[in-house]
Structure 1
Amino acid sequence: MFDQPYDFHFVQRNTNKKNSIQRQLDPELDYQYEYIYKFFVSNAFCRRKIIVQIKQYNDTVFKVDFYATTSNKERKVRNENLSAYRYLTKVGRANRVAGTIFAIIGTLRRHCPDMSFGFQAATLLNEANDNNNRRYQVYLTMMQLVTGSSNNPWKAFGYSENSYIFVIQKRFLQQKPQIIEEYGRIFGKVFEN
């Protein structure tokens, strides 16, 4: 389903240095480690750097964040032409970018074989309802296609109200409510099954 992933590079691993009181007050700060990776998406017209941040909260719970930076050439293009420009140059094709992020997660899985992960598929402020969010629907469909085979160890679940996607190992499905509750604490909400 995915093209060959881009070459990615491990940048650094950060240890959380916040004290226990700060970590109790803000669940987002309660991670143990943060792993940072980068890769570049480029063609003849522009080059974009994509940063992937993976926070490890315990041995099984990870949160994935990723974002793209833009080049000077891309900044010069006006907003109304930007999506057409990206479409024509095929910069940031979702399947290859997603394949690279899965490859990064795969490298972490070698060190943490019990990992499950979650991420927010959309954080768009101007949308009144995340249920109709295309980015969420595309990401969830991609994750379900990737994890749908019988030999894949993960299963994808979506929480459409907030555009959250969780990918839990199949052997931990009986612990799904506890895992999703842990993610609810991290993301700032309590989720129902």
Structure 2
Amino acid sequence: MNEFDSRVGSGDTPFHPESYPSSHIGSNFLFLTRIGDYGIIWILFAVFLIAKKEFRKTGFMVLAALMLGLIFGEILLKPLFGRIRPFEAYDLFPTILDKTRGFSFPSGHTTSSFAAASILVYRSGKRAWIFLLLAVGIALSRLYYLVHYPSDIVGGILLGIACAGIVISVVQKTQGEGP
């Protein structure tokens, strides 16, 4: 995992900000990372869904998956691993997100994005690609700004999907139904 992650601080990785000549990429990634802050985009989706009676169950499932991601990722795993962020480890250049604090593994933005997107994919069917695209974009934005290593992103993806899986399993067992 160290070799996998060590390339992120060197200029030879495709996720290094200096690898892109266009400021459009940076501004798009900044937008994506900001809407992922605190899981806000996913919370807003959930609130919108809860407000509509026919989608209420999906909204509550999204909130439950987000809560599990918060508990497992932010409260349990980050302090357990205590991994510093790439921009701190390499001290190569200041990041535009210099207020980013806390530990790196797993990525909270990625965990919340994949927890919510997984529920939305499970419940929505053909519109699923939009949620996955948004989750992937938010995850890549965290690499772009060097606030996470690639393994933090992979860990966040796996944790987010696992949290969604737990919620789906509980709902299926307690309510005896599928999507």
**TM-score calculated relative to the size of structure 2:** 0.31
Question: Which structure shows the bigger proportion of residues in strand conformation?
Answer: 1
Q: Which has the higher contact order (CA 8 A, sep 6+)?
A: 2
Question: Which structure shows the bigger proportion of residues in helix conformation?
Answer: 2
